A and B are shown apart, each in its own frame.
Chain A
């Protein structure tokens, strides 16, 4: 018999972020997004910078994560993320300004530089944050 719900736990080194019972989870796997429904086969995957979404009934919530990995069990999903932010916690203004900053830096340095990679990563993070924060705007 399949479980009806998934227990979703998201933990970071600083604190546990979330522990909820949900109907569906989407996680940003390294090789593309994964959708997880109750009864999924056990799986371990690395995550990239991306967006986690989970559905409870008709309501969907979003989080932004940077590097982490996920352990999926039929009735349980555990996500270890270096950093995770709920949509409502994101400071949109800050994300916008860091996006602008990263873009500016990308325009300046050449692409072999370590700074280039760093700027690229921070651009990715900013873009995801903005995307997640926008969901919040639509939902509200």
Chain B
């Protein structure tokens, strides 16, 4: 009798414990779900702001390009590349033996394949140019950690700028790039970043930042015969570095928006997965509870029958 009772309570404990275990897991998944849901909401808000910033930065970039274009015809830049190089060092084609790569990633994880995709692309880019001299300039903690772990030499790093992204950041990066380029240590500078295509889509872009590719000139601007306060050459020389700044600023904004979009999508998926998991677990729990009740009834019935 004593032994029987002991065994019975033992069986019951495991069944109950099972139910308790599942209940505990459900609770923990629910907590996680709440976090992912909150992160999704935060990302959505940030994404909206990032998109607005891209839009409000556009007029400046467009005007800048328009004025540059009108200058191009003025300065008669549109000749062969050699003379272009004499005109301004930022236009000089010098081959591509010494390359600098500016990689833009995010500072934080939990955003799906946003960071890993771009790092993969970066590795491939660097792998294809193994025999050349490569310089790295990294933006974002993820890229820095990644290349540090692989003991790359990082020339400059810009970490934690995305929480308060400002034009000054783009200016800093542009200055350091131009300075190194100007000392003719570099032949070309490439920019690697995620472009914001839509909320569910990011596109990885490799752009040559320097030397500045031949500027297109549109007919619309050639018609206007401007007076120049300074000579066109002077304005042109001052404008080119600004053009680089604007390019970098745009890339930073694009990347920031793409990161938020990627995080939002990832967190949305995580929230859905959690919901699914909770459903399955709840089902399991109910089954376990039902099983333990059935077992108990059988035990009582068979106990009564045995009497």
Q: Which residues of A contact B (CB under 8 A)?
A: 9, 11-16, 29-31, 34, 41-46, 69, 71, 73, 78, 80, 82
Q: Cβ of A71 and Cβ of B63 under 8 Å apart?
A: yes
Could you say which interface size class chain B belongs to? 20 to 34
Q: Are B56 and A15 in contact (CB under 8 A)?
A: yes
Query: Known contacts being A69-B235, A78-B63, A80-B63, is A13 close to B229, with CB within 8 Å?
Result: no
Cβ–Cβ < 8 Å partners of A34 in chain B: 229
Contact code string B245-287 (vs A, CB < 8 Å = 1, else 0)? 1100100000000000000000000000000000000000000
- Shortest C-beta distance, B63 to chain A (Å), equals 5
Question: Shortest 4 CB-CB distances between A and B: which pairs?
Answer: A45-B229, A15-B56, A43-B227, A13-B167
Q: Does any Cβ of A come within 8 Å of B60's Cβ? A: yes
User: Are B56 and A14 interface neighbours, CB within 8 A?
Assistant: yes
Supposing A14-B56, A78-B63, A80-B67 touch, asked if A41 and B229 sit within 8 A by C-beta, the answer is no
- Please give, as numbers and ranges, the residues of chain A lying within 8 Å of B67 by CB-CB distance: 44, 69, 71, 80
- Bound form: Cα–Cα A73–B166 in Å: 31
B226 touches which of A11, A30, A31, A42 (Cβ 8 Å): A42
By a CB distance below 8 angstroms, the chain A residues around B288 are none
Minimum CB–CB distance from A18 to chain B (whole Å) comes to 12
Interface presence of B219 (CB below 8 A)? no
Asked whether A16 lies within 8 Å of B56 as measured between CB atoms, the reply is yes
Residues of A within 8 A of B71 (CB): 44
| 6 A-B pairs (CB sep. < 8 Å) | A16-B56, A34-B229, A43-B227, A45-B229, A69-B235, A71-B67
| A36 smallest CB distance to B (angstroms) | 12
Which residues of chain A come closer than 8 Å to B228, judged between CB atoms? 43-45
Question: What is the CB-to-nearest-CB distance from B147 to chain A, in angstroms, rounded to a whole number?
Answer: 29
Chain B residues within an 8 Å CB radius of A41 = 227
Report A-chain residues with C-beta under 8 Å of the C-beta of B246.
13
B230's contact among A11, A46, A82, by CB below 8 Å, is which?
A46
Least CB distance, B153 to chain A, in whole angstroms: 26
Q: How many A-B residue pairs have CB under 8 A?
A: 70
In Å, the complex CA distance between A44 and B233 comes to 12
In the docked arrangement, what's the CA distance between A106 and B170, Å?
Answer: 27
Given the complex of chains A and B, what is the CA–CA distance between A16 and B67 in angstroms?
17
State the Cβ distance, A14 to closest chain B Cβ, in Å: 6
Rounded to whole angstroms, the CA-CA distance of A80 and B234 in the bound complex is 17
A29 to B227, CA, bound (A): 13
CB-CB under 8 A for A13 and B60, given A46-B238, A71-B67, A80-B67:
yes
* Cβ-based interface call for B225 (8 A): yes
Per the bound structure, the CA–CA distance linking A43 and B225 in Å amounts to: 8
User: With an 8 A cutoff between CB atoms, is B57 at the interface?
Assistant: yes
Complex interface: chain A residues within 8 A of B229 (CB): 29-31, 34, 43-46
Alpha-carbon distance between A58 and B234 when the two chains are bound, in angstroms: 37
Q: Are B60 and A45 in contact (CB under 8 A)?
A: no
A80 to B229, CA, bound (A): 16
Cβ of A44: which chain B residues have Cβ within 8 Å of it?
67, 70-71, 226-229, 235
Minimum Cβ distance to chain B for residue A75 (Å) = 13
B56 touches A42 (CB 8 A): no
Q: Which of B188-244 contact A (CB under 8 A)?
A: 224-230, 234-235, 238-239
B167 contact from A14, A30, A31, A42, Cβ within 8 A = A14
**Bound: A15/B58 CA distance, A:** 8
Complex Cα gap A30–B235 (Å)? 11
Q: Give 1 or 0 for each of B168-194: 1 = CB within 8 Å of chain A CB.
A: 001000000000000000000000000
**B47-76 interface with A by 8 A CB criterion:** 53, 56-57, 59-61, 63-64, 67, 70-71
A44 to B53 CA separation, bound complex (whole angstroms): 27
Report chain A residues within 8 Å CB of B249.
Answer: 13
- Add 7 more A-B contacts to A13-B61, A15-B56, A15-B57 (CB < 8 A): A13-B57, A14-B56, A34-B229, A44-B235, A45-B230, A71-B63, A71-B67
Which chain B positions have C-beta within 8 A of A12?
Answer: 60, 167
CB neighbours (8 Å) of A43 from chain B are 226-229
Are the C-beta atoms of B224 and A14 separated by less than 8 Å? no
Instruction: Give A16 to B166 CA distance when docked, in angstroms.
Output: 15
